[in-house]
Amino acid sequence: MAAKRTYYPLCLEYLDKHLDKDFHDLARATLPYYLPANILDLTTREQRRNAIESIPDDAVPSHTKELVKIGVQMLWKKERAKKNGIQRRFK
């Protein structure tokens, strides 16, 4: 599944190989909603940053990079808040 991949060029490569061309645009439009959670699973900040930066500024749909970047930040903040909440409960 392309969504299990985190680096945008690898996702596109996978789509090219495994998906009928008629569905490429749809798959590209769907990627921004799957990538953030996968990128967040990467172990280092640098890996996460590289994964976001692997999305070209002119990717289609036009706001792909922005959606993914904001999405990763949102999930990261949510996860951090959750962890801090759990830590506070056990102090």
The answer to whether residue 71 forms part of the interface with another protein (CB under 8 A) is yes
The answer to whether residue 62 forms part of the interface with another protein (CB under 8 A) is yes
The answer to whether residue 74 forms part of the interface with another protein (CB under 8 A) is yes
19-58 footprint of another protein as x/- string (CB under 8 A): ------xx--xx-xx--xx---------------------
45: number of Cβ within 10 Å: 9
Residue of 3, 26, 25 whose CA lies nearest to 14: 3
Q: Which two tokens stand for residue 71?
A: 């999405």
Q: Where are the alpha helices (H) located in the chain, listed in sequence order? A: 8-18, 24-40, 45-53, 64-89
Chain residues in the site for another protein (CB under 8 A):
25-26, 29-30, 32-33, 36-37, 60-63, 67, 70-71, 74-75, 78
